[in-house]
Structures are given as structure tokens and as C-alpha cells.
Amino acid sequence: MARYKHYNYNQLMMVPVSLEEQLMPGTLEYAIHHVVEERLDLSFFDERYRNDETGRRAIAPKVLIKIVLFGYSRGLISSRSLERACCENITFMALACGQKPDHSTIAAFVSSMENEIEPLFTKVLLICEEEGLLGGTHFSLDGLKLSSNASKEWSGTFADLKKKPAGAREPGSGQDNLLELIEMNLKLALILGQYFFFHGRKEQYT
């Protein structure tokens, strides 16, 4: 008669987890964590909050931006998927420091970053330049799944194009602004990965 290892779902386990140890040097998550914590000044986000005397404590912008950048770099761009990842994925749990932001909190944070994301993007470029990791001659992205004016839904005959809703993709529309914001976040995450993939490995082996 076959024998199998015994298992019991009522068995209790005590598993100590160090969140910091989940962020290994040489990985993208370490890159995002280190840059946001040590190199970026996010104090300008403080002006958004009016809870210094009353109201609930807010989730720190540093935590939210780590979640967003890492999520975007892994193809998770919806707020609900990011919320779920913070509950199920140990890397997201480590970046969020065990906090579980609601999808509405994440969505509101992303949609309000229109004026802040460009300065952050510029700062990361300057950090990379300081470390000698940017040649300044070429930058490219591959596999960026964003609609464009050459995409299938915006191609066809002149008769087909006239049937498209007028102004649906006019410059400055809400959809365009959101796509530009997502694209900028993706670029920022990828540059962080390029920088600290090498920087983290140097720290790991020195």
C-alpha cells in the first residue's frame, strides 16, 4: 500500500520574515527601494496632506511610488492588480513594508502625479549620470504596450477614420495624459533598473 507524507492544514507555523532581506542587491526591487529612500527628495508631496492635527495617517508617498514603479515594470498597471500584489507577492509586501494600500489610494496617487513625475524622472537621470551609467547617445524602450496613432484601432481608410469619435484622442485629452503618465513611470522604473542592476552588484560583491 502506498505511503504519503502526512500533512495537516490546522498545523500552525511561525515563519520569521525579514522584509529588507527580500530586496536583494542587483535586483530591480532593490534599485527602486534604495533610490527612493536614499536619493530622491519627495518632501514636496507633504503639501498634499492636511492631517497633521486631525485625520487618519496617510500611507507614505515613498511606499506608494515604490509599489507603482515596481508594478509598472512588471506589467501591473491597474490599481487593483497592485493592491492584490501587496497582499500576495512577497516582493511587493517588502516594498510596501507590510502595508496594504487600497486600490483607490493607489489610483488617486498615480492620477495626481502629473506635475511631479517629470522632476523625478529628471532626478533619476542625473543620478545615473553621476554614476557614469549614461552615455547620453541612445535610449530605447522595447515592448511598451501603449496605444499610438499608428496602432490598429487608429489605422484604416479615410472613410474609416472619419467614423472615429471626434476629439477622442486630441492632444491634452484625459486619455493622452494618463498614457503619458504611465509611459513616464515605466521609463523611470526601467532607468532605475539599469542603474542599480550594476550598482547593486558592485555592492554585493565588495
Give residue-wise pLDDT tens across range 102-156.
Answer: 999 999 888 887 777 778 877 877 777 776 666 666 656 555 555 555 555 555 5
Which pLDDT does position 17 carry in this prediction? 83
Range of the domain at 83: 20-44+58-134+156-204
- Residue at 76 is within a domain: yes
Which pLDDT does position 41 carry in this prediction? 85
Helix (H) or strand (E) holding 66: helix 61-73
- Residue at 145 is within a domain: no
Alpha carbon of 37 to those of 10, 31, 126: distances in Å? 40, 10, 16
Q: Identify which of 155, 144, 206 has the alpha carbon closest to the alpha carbon of residue 179.
A: 144
Joined together, the cell numbers standing for residue 52 give: 497633521
Q: Identify which of 109, 127, 116, 151 has the alpha carbon closest to the alpha carbon of residue 32.
A: 127
Alpha-carbon gap, residue 148 to 34, rounded angstroms: 33
- Residue at 2 is within a domain: no
> What is the Cα 114 distance to its own chain's centre?
15
Alpha-carbon gap, residue 40 to 23, rounded angstroms: 18
Please identify which residue in the block is written with the cell numbers 527602486: 32
- Residue at 13 is within a domain: no
Amino acid identity for residue 91 in this structure: T
- Residue at 160 is within a domain: yes
- Residue at 141 is within a domain: no
Q: What is the DSSP letter of 21?
A: G
Q: How many domains does the chain have?
A: 1
- Residue at 74 is within a domain: yes
* 180 SS3 class: helix
Which pLDDT does position 95 carry in this prediction? 94
Joined together, the cell numbers standing for residue 128 give: 545615473
Which pLDDT does position 158 carry in this prediction? 54
Along the chain (206 residues), what's the average pLDDT of each consecutive run of 10 residues?
Answer: 88 86 87 86 84 85 90 88 94 93 91 79 75 63 56 58 51 52 62 54 42
- Residue at 111 is within a domain: yes
Threshold 0.75, pTM exceeds:
no
